[in-house]
Structure 1
Amino acid sequence: MQVGHSAAQRGERVGEADGLAARLLGHVDHPARVRGGDELDGGRDLDVLEPPHRALEHHARVVVGARARGAHQDLFRHFDRSLPRGPERSRPPRLRYNPRDAFSSPELRTQIMGRARAAVGLGVLLAVVPVRAADETPPLGFTVSSARRQAEVEEAMLGLPSPARCEALHAQLTRAPHVAGTEGSQRVAEEIAWILRQSGLQTETVSYDVLLSWPRRVDVELVSPRRVRLARPEAVIPEDPFSREPSLSVPWHAYAKSGEVTAEAVYVNYGRPEDYAALARLGVSVRGRVVVARHFNGYRGGKSLEAERQGAAALITYSDPAEDGYVQGDVYPKGPWGPDSHVQRGANVYDFIVPGDPLTPGWASVAGARRIAESESQVLPKIPSVPLSFRDAREILETLGGPLRPDQWQGGGPFTYHVGPGPARVRVSLDIPREVRTIRDVIARLPGVDSDPDVAGQIVLLSNHHDAWTYGGVDPSSGTATALELAAALGELSRRGMRPRRTIVLGLWDAEEFTLTGSTEWGEEHEAELRERAVACLNVDASTSGDRFAASAVPSLRALLRDVARRIPDPKGRGSVYDVWLAGAGANVRGYGVRAGEATDEPKVSILGSGSDYTVFFNHLGVPSADFLFDGPYGVYHSIYDSHEWVRRIGDPGFRYHAAMAALWGVAALRLANADVLPLDYAAYGRDLVVYIDDVDTLARMRQVPVDLGPAREQARRLAVLPALTAEGTPEEQRRRNQALLAAERDLTLPEGLPGRPWFRHLVYAPLPSYAAETLPGVREAVMDGDVARASAQAGHLARALRQAADRLEGVRPR
């Protein structure tokens, strides 16, 4: 059954919006106020673009003229026309910054923080949101009576997120670059903390001193057969004033080794082991040469480590138009793809071995912590590396001779690719010092109110990061704006008396872009608490670059995600988010997930690899995790063009999918926070495990590595036939089921970790050097290495872990 609103109700709601908007117009400050030094940190000079209250004022003027026409589509057409169209000046004015300036009017502050929730929220779409009828089966984990209360909470949540507020927050967050360890990142952290406190959440800023790096000099030059200076700034796009920022003129890899190399160049395709094997078959060696690898099909750190192993002198990575440029479609500003001059910045670090501060591998960088020398680190690169645009890389590629590239190596350049070596010779000269600086995580809590303190203390963790390589338009500020809007909604629900049973913690991490640093340090510091109390981690790195929902998750969370997606309306009126998800083939661009496990007719959920902040909670601590976004063509990743302007024009015009993500994220969090019994499906886990075990067994037979996976398969089949752990039963039965479900994922971890990288403890999933997920990593890697003894030992660990989980869960199943 669908529950909607009558025409009279819709008219009343629009009338409320008219009144609020009219009041807003009386409280807008022009221009942004400049306050004295007594506010917060005393103020400091920063480049500030139009403050968010301009967006709200512009929106309010249009809403005043939007009389009650009835249908929710009318309001969204007004949203589309009312949202601001970017900065009016080519260079921003210099203002004295204070976080409160952007929210200077009390009523505007109320509007941005979500306390006044008139008809500008996602609630205008409630007419198409299915609500469970009283006689329907309650969602997993709820009794019939608690399901009714939960439905009321979810309906209230769906009415709160506002596209206009999401746009205002996004504009505020992205108005200047904010790389971790800089004043810009500190500014964003302070601003976020202030907003979260205004939302009513208990908020603290936690600092860590960690190893970071920044470029002092980056010189790259083609020295023969002709001289061309490379590593040039990205081209200014007149339609995007953000592209003029001089501080973003240098392409660089964080942590790249400083030094100078001049050598012949070799094109190595994606720089994978199989690519070097193909070159060897052609008689081409890369030893002592500069290798040129295109992005994608692997993480840049994995490319660097493989280049080291192959004896290369230096690594150049570049963006080929075949992957994210004109071959894919129209380039920015006409379309979503990257112009020839765009550069994919990023960290070059081997965090698939151990993430976090390279000087405190495996323990938190708290005051007084032991720190190793840089020379002892396993994760810092040992050769220089630098990213180039295609505009620069083609200068090298066009001058390469040698053999014709193998099949499938031809990129999108309008010329025939050769592999070299030479005659192209390249000089790479880098001065990229590494130094310890302070990063700042912002942690907000909404304490649980269950009468049982053990339940109230359990933690539903919501995760995003706030640092960015440039402006962070999509990555991560779309997620950060969504997180702040969700925090405001949770605060509003709390004021209405709808407090969660369990504690909701929102972590906005710093230095994710370097080596998942802020989340890793916090997770390591709070390991004991999280292993005891954490229910799940719901990670939204980038929330929106398009209109197609995509998810990576542990199997036990798949059913929850699908059920929640059924509750969320698609902002384009195509049914629910679930309907669009089912009809499409979304792929999570941020999760490095791959498809594995049982095949069903449901929307596809990838398995978790790495590359975002769930890693410490999932792979190290054994907390069930998910990573999701609204996906779409996104060719400006980590470039100067990943700005508010790109998102406003291309990624989410109207910011409706930002609001939809706040609703989806919020409903999922509240399901986990309020369930009588945690809604985790370990039968789905067991079915996937059977597939993984059969796959590794086939691999072992092919490679003639004898290993007995029968005991592990037997335990996986026990999990696969588990009945659902419903909420029906006595309070004591519910308590015991929750304790078993809380511990089951931890059962699948090995305290001593995986061989060769003990920080990664999960026996079922781990990231490859490409960041893609692999299943049963301990057994699989031993089989690939031909190590019979290690394969047998790892198979034994797996079987014992699965038996422990199966025994635990069978012991609390309904009788």
Structure 2
Amino acid sequence: MNSVASSHIYDNDQSSIVTAYHSIRDYVKERYPSLTTRKFLAAIVWSIVAVGIFNLIFLPRTSLGRDYRRLHFSALTKDETERLFLKALNEENNAGEQLRQYMKRQHLSGDGDEYVQYTMEQLRQYGLKPYKEVYYTWMTKHVESTVSVFDEQGSLVYSPSLLEVDPVSGVSSQGYHAYSGSGDVTAPYIFVNYGSLDDYRKLRNLGVDLKGKIHIIRTGKVSTALQVEHAESNGAVGVITYMDPSDDGKFTTKNGFEQYPDGPARNTSSVKRDTVLRYSQAPGDPTTIGFPSNRAVKRRKPHNLPKIPSIPMSADKITPILQRIPSSHDLNWTGDIEGFDYSCGPSNFTINLVNHNEAEVVPLKNIMYEIPGLLSEKVILGNHRDSLTMAGAADPGSGTAILLEISRAFGSLIKLGWRPLRTIVVASWDGSAHGMLGSTEYAESHEVDLQAHAIAYINLDAGVTGHNLDIVSNPLLDHFLIGASKNIPFNNYSDTKSLFDYWEESHLGSEKINRLGSGSDFTVFQHHLGIPSCNVGFHGDPNDSLPVNIGSSFDTLDWMERFVDPNYEYHGTMAKYLGFLALSLSEHEVIEYKVEHYAHEIKGYFNDLISIIPSSWWDRDVERGTSMSLAIDQVKYLIEQLLTVSTNFDRTAQLLQEQISVDYPWFQFYIKLRLAMNSKIIGNKAKDIDQMFLTNKGIKGRPWMKHLVFAPDRDTGDDVSLLPSLRESLADGEFDAFIASLQDIASALRRATKRLRL
């Protein structure tokens, strides 16, 4: 019956077509009775049809990559975008002028509205659309500090001025530690070297009385925040930090160099301001850890802060204090303070240390702009512009000048009709010098969106403090960093020498990329959200570079232009490099992270770690019937599985990118649709891979730090700890915690392997 019905419908359709044909034919005959006219019209119609068919057959072949840009109305191809970006920066270098403008204006954390307006106006002139995101953060403001030294009879013998004088402007200001405790304490004092855990362990083993003392600590090796924490946990009632000349390497007065401003050696009256907020545990507003500091937020009791007062002093002002420490234990500590043998003491003299800070809620202003892309992913590029001093030419002035140069080149591309494939977000952070406040509050505020769409965070910070290309990165970004460096002319060498060539020469034939610890604005993106991040700059080799005056009034424009980058060539090279890197990530149709490289890195970290497991642990049962050896072998097997799957994933992504670059005729549009869908699938999987290594409970003792592969070193702060939960439980001798961490790693490896399967 269905067959009969279908036949009836077909007959009706055929009859309708015939009827319509006859109707049109009769209309044409009636309207155009002349046969000649009808033939002419027929010829026109058939010509149009023929031209249409011809155009369809011979339409220019296009690749999916070109189609993406046509859909987004972008006038530039990927190659044109990269070439014209470099052209804009090769033809003009305004970094010097931008740094001079920066140095003219107030730029303390939470202050500097004039410079905020200047920055936004510059960005508007470039054709960009900047906006402000304001967060209301709990901060401390330094009021005053004093140090007085008394002899055994209680007589005042030394009361130094704590003012540091800018050698160029003559403006003076006291050094301070942001977030230091307020207090008025009088106590004997001791010298504790770098204030590391090893230094304190050595002193305790010698029976040195640490409690109730003011601890004097030389900066370096351990973050200032953890130096103060270590001191407090060992019974200190106050801390004084200073920079020892011996830590400046080659360029010291002992080695025959004049002090700045007469030469490149550090001026002994230089003071290093810093924060004592424990950002290696949790950066950002200490009253809103884990959530953003909005205007009406309900705050908690401040966390991650010391209770004892601390201040920085200069080497010349601390010298008379250290000289009053008598010889005692031979600790094998050395330095360049004259008249001091680097004994620990204690001294028979006492110090009265007064430090006064006031707490207040301060509006921080992040300056942002976005260049919207066609695809849903985002690439974020950021640098902080605030400082603890009115100077700050290197940190953060050089990075700010570079960021504005990158923005100028982006603006020139927009004027030529460029629209990025992926959205590019550029940020000028506020409050970083106090403990990465602006970046952390932003990321906590936009956490869901960032984890869903951000594929990379590129951090700048102190862009130029020396001549050594210094890169720390998530392994997923390594090949992007290497690839971009090969396209950048180094300084003024044009085509004869690339940045990659210079990089290899500097590291004796191989590029060197370290892993991310903490101390800058990448912290929240990498360690809390699992967004692959990197930090890049021209910095110094500790043994053969100029001393860096970060946090000091001696971080001047004069120092930058006389000793570091007189022609701003390193600034220009860094602008080209980081902008090109952002474009590489934005304009590449497929997210090619090279996950296999990441898996190999994890394998190496794990093999290094199991080599230091105590022999007594190997025969202990993890659970009934399962030994430590079996548990280790299981994790090794999971790593090998990840390697196998990631190798296939990378190969598929590479093949997909090659196919996306192929031109196809119009009638093979279905191939492009398939490629577009596969690209989206690959991209979603790649974007999620680093987040597979996050743990909701966080690292033991530091729940804000979520990443199982990387974390700031628990004991030094700025360095990186690889597989931190495992490493810390080993260091603490906690077998059960080690097993729990081993299980967390195994679960993460399973998640990552499952996510990468195609």
- TM-score band, normalised by the shorter chain? 0.7 to 0.9
Deviation, 1:337, is: 3.6
In the TM superposition, what whole-angstrom CA distance separates every residue of 1:356-400 from its partner, at most 9, and x where no partner exists?
1011111001132220133xx2x1111110101101111111110
Alignment of 1:192-231 (within 5 A): 192-224=119-151, 227-231=157-161
Q: Which amino acid is the alignment partner of residue 773 of structure 1? A: V
| TM-score (ref. length: structure 2) | 0.81
For 2:366 and 2:330, how far apart are their aligned partners in 1?
46
Q: Which amino acid is the alignment partner of residue 639 of structure 2? A: A
SS where residue 342 of structure 2 aligns? coil
In the TM superposition, what whole-angstrom CA distance separates every residue of 1:306-343 from its partner, at most 9, and x where no partner exists?
11110111111100001135457553224444210000
Alignment of 1:188-267 (within 5 A): 188-224=115-151, 227-235=157-165, 237=167, 241-242=168-169, 244-246=170-172, 249-267=173-191
For 1:622 and 1:809, how far apart are their aligned partners in 2?
16
Deviation, 1:197, is: 2.1
In the TM superposition, what whole-angstrom CA distance separates every residue of 1:790-809 from its partner, at most 9, and x where no partner exists?
21111111111122212322
Deviation, 1:419, is: 1.3
Q: Which residue of 1 aligns with 2:538?
A: 630
* Residue in structure 2 matching 1:178, options 100, 107, 113: 107
* Residue in structure 2 matching 1:690, options 590, 595, 603: 603
| Native 8 Å contact 2:386 2:430 kept in 1 | yes
SS where residue 393 of structure 2 aligns? coil
| TM-score (ref. length: structure 1) | 0.75
For 2:615 and 2:507, how far apart are their aligned partners in 1?
32
Q: Which amino acid is the alignment partner of residue 442 of structure 1? A: I
Deviation, 1:263, is: 1.2
Q: Which amino acid is the alignment partner of residue 636 of structure 2? A: R
| Native 8 Å contact 1:268 1:419 kept in 2 | yes
* 2:449 is aligned with 1:529: yes
* 2:401 is aligned with 1:446: no
| Native 8 Å contact 1:264 1:425 kept in 2 | yes
* 2:570 is aligned with 1:648: no
| Native 8 Å contact 2:214 2:240 kept in 1 | yes
For 2:635 and 2:78, how far apart are their aligned partners in 1?
38
SS where residue 212 of structure 1 aligns? strand
SS where residue 530 of structure 2 aligns? coil
In the TM superposition, what whole-angstrom CA distance separates every residue of 1:385-423 from its partner, at most 9, and x where no partner exists?
010110111111111014144114444546422211012
* 2:74 is aligned with 1:154: no
Q: Which residue of 2 aligns with 1:717?
A: 640
SS where residue 434 of structure 1 aligns? strand
Q: Which residue of 2 aligns with 1:41?
A: none
Q: Which residue of 1 aligns with 2:379?
A: 460
For 1:503 and 1:327, how far apart are their aligned partners in 2?
52
In the TM superposition, what whole-angstrom CA distance separates every residue of 1:626-679 from its partner, at most 9, and x where no partner exists?
000012334311100112222111221111111111110111000100111113
Deviation, 1:163, is: 6.1
In the TM superposition, what whole-angstrom CA distance separates every residue of 1:1-57 from its partner, at most 9, and x where no partner exists?
xxxxxxxxxxxxxxxxxxxxxxxxxxxxxxxxxxxxxxxxxxxxxxxxxxxxxxxxx
Deviation, 1:281, is: 2.8
Deviation, 1:784, is: 1.9
Q: Which amino acid is the alignment partner of residue 297 of structure 1? A: K
Q: Which residue of 1 aligns with 2:521?
A: 613
SS where residue 476 of structure 1 aligns? helix
For 1:308 and 1:703, how far apart are their aligned partners in 2?
34
SS where residue 516 of structure 2 aligns? coil
| Native 8 Å contact 1:215 1:252 kept in 2 | yes
Q: Which residue of 2 aligns with 1:791?
A: 738
Deviation, 1:569, is: 1.3
Q: Which residue of 2 aligns with 1:579?
A: 501
In the TM superposition, what whole-angstrom CA distance separates every residue of 1:107-127 from its partner, at most 9, and x where no partner exists?
xxxxxxxxxxxxxxxxxxxxx
| Native 8 Å contact 1:336 1:636 kept in 2 | no
Q: Which residue of 2 aligns with 1:475?
A: 395
- 1:640 and 1:810, CA in 2 relative to 1: closer, same or farther beyond 3 A? same
Alignment of 1:259-338 (within 5 A): 259-324=183-248, 325-327=252-254, 329-338=257-266
SS where residue 230 of structure 1 aligns? coil
Q: Which residue of 2 aligns with 1:19?
A: none
For 2:598 and 2:161, how far apart are their aligned partners in 1?
47
Q: Which residue of 2 aligns with 1:187?
A: 114
| Native 8 Å contact 1:163 1:656 kept in 2 | no
For 1:606 and 1:767, how far apart are their aligned partners in 2?
13
- 1:337 and 1:748, CA in 2 relative to 1: closer, same or farther beyond 3 A? farther
| Native 8 Å contact 2:145 2:162 kept in 1 | no
Q: Which residue of 2 aligns with 1:668?
A: 581
Q: Which amino acid is the alignment partner of residue 230 of structure 1? A: P
For 1:255 and 1:576, how far apart are their aligned partners in 2?
43
Unpaired runs of at least 5, structure 1: 1-137, 587-600
Deviation, 1:702, is: 5.6
| Native 8 Å contact 2:166 2:554 kept in 1 | no
| Native 8 Å contact 2:274 2:551 kept in 1 | yes
For 2:643 and 2:247, how far apart are their aligned partners in 1?
39
Q: How many residues align?
A: 636
For 1:544 and 1:250, how far apart are their aligned partners in 2?
26
* Residue in structure 2 matching 1:774, options 702, 705, 721: 721
Q: For the pair shown, which has the larger CA radius of gyration, 1 or 2? A: 2
- 1:231 and 1:318, CA in 2 relative to 1: closer, same or farther beyond 3 A? farther
For 2:719 and 2:380, how far apart are their aligned partners in 1?
23
Deviation, 1:223, is: 2.0
Deviation, 1:680, is: 1.0
Q: Which amino acid is the alignment partner of residue 677 of structure 1? A: V
Deviation, 1:561, is: 0.6
Q: Which residue of 2 aligns with 1:169?
A: 98
- 1:602 and 1:164, CA in 2 relative to 1: closer, same or farther beyond 3 A? closer
| Native 8 Å contact 2:93 2:405 kept in 1 | no
User: Comparing both structures, which one devotes a greater share of its residues to helix?
Assistant: 2
| Native 8 Å contact 2:617 2:735 kept in 1 | no
Q: Which amino acid is the alignment partner of residue 178 of structure 1? A: H
| Native 8 Å contact 1:206 1:443 kept in 2 | yes
| Native 8 Å contact 2:180 2:308 kept in 1 | yes
Q: Which residue of 1 aligns with 2:289?
A: 361
Give identity over the alignment, percent. 30
For 1:419 and 1:383, how far apart are their aligned partners in 2?
20
Unpaired runs of at least 5, structure 2: 1-64, 541-545, 621-627, 660-674
Deviation, 1:159, is: 1.4
For 1:440 and 1:199, how far apart are their aligned partners in 2?
20
Alignment of 1:90-105 (within 5 A): none
For 2:606 and 2:678, how far apart are their aligned partners in 1?
32
SS where residue 762 of structure 1 aligns? coil
Q: Which amino acid is the alignment partner of residue 363 of structure 1? A: F
| Native 8 Å contact 2:146 2:162 kept in 1 | no
Q: Which residue of 1 aligns with 2:461?
A: 541
Q: Which amino acid is the alignment partner of residue 712 of structure 1? A: V
For 2:731 and 2:615, how far apart are their aligned partners in 1?
10
Q: Which amino acid is the alignment partner of residue 173 of structure 1? A: Y
In the TM superposition, what whole-angstrom CA distance separates every residue of 1:590-641 from its partner, at most 9, and x where no partner exists?
xxxxxxxxxxx63110100001001111111110000000123343111001
Q: Which amino acid is the alignment partner of residue 460 of structure 1? A: V
Q: Which residue of 2 aligns with 1:737?
A: 682
For 1:549 and 1:572, how far apart are their aligned partners in 2?
16
SS where residue 444 of structure 1 aligns? strand
| Native 8 Å contact 1:163 1:658 kept in 2 | no
More contact order relative to length (CA 8 Å, sep ≥ 6): 2
Q: Which amino acid is the alignment partner of residue 160 of structure 2? A: L
Q: Which amino acid is the alignment partner of residue 273 of structure 1? A: L
